[in-house]
Amino acid sequence: MRLGGPVTPRDLGPEEWAARAGALGYRAANAPLDESADDATVRAYVRAAREADLAAAYIRAVAAEGG
């Protein structure tokens, strides 16, 4: 099981978001994305989460497409 929570501020870029989550001791975090995020942005957050060994909530179907 991974424990985590929200990472603020919500306007962090993917790498900053993943680093902040790690600094908070999280192993999981809510991605700061909504349904308007384009595929490239979603993929960037997926990549940052993978590189940080972070489980990310709200990574829509594009992540399953090899993001």
pLDDT value of residue 16: 96
More confident residue, 53 or 64: 53
Q: Does residue 67 carry a pLDDT above 50? A: no
Please give the Cα distance from 20 to 56 (Å, whole number).
13
Q: Does residue 58 carry a pLDDT above 90? A: no
pLDDT value of residue 30: 86
Give the chain's mean pLDDT.
Answer: 84
- Tokens at 16, concatenated: 């900053």
The structural domains of the chain, with segments of one domain joined by +, span 4-65
Tell me the per-residue pLDDT of 30-47, one tens digit each, with 9 for 90 and over: 888 888 889 899 899 999
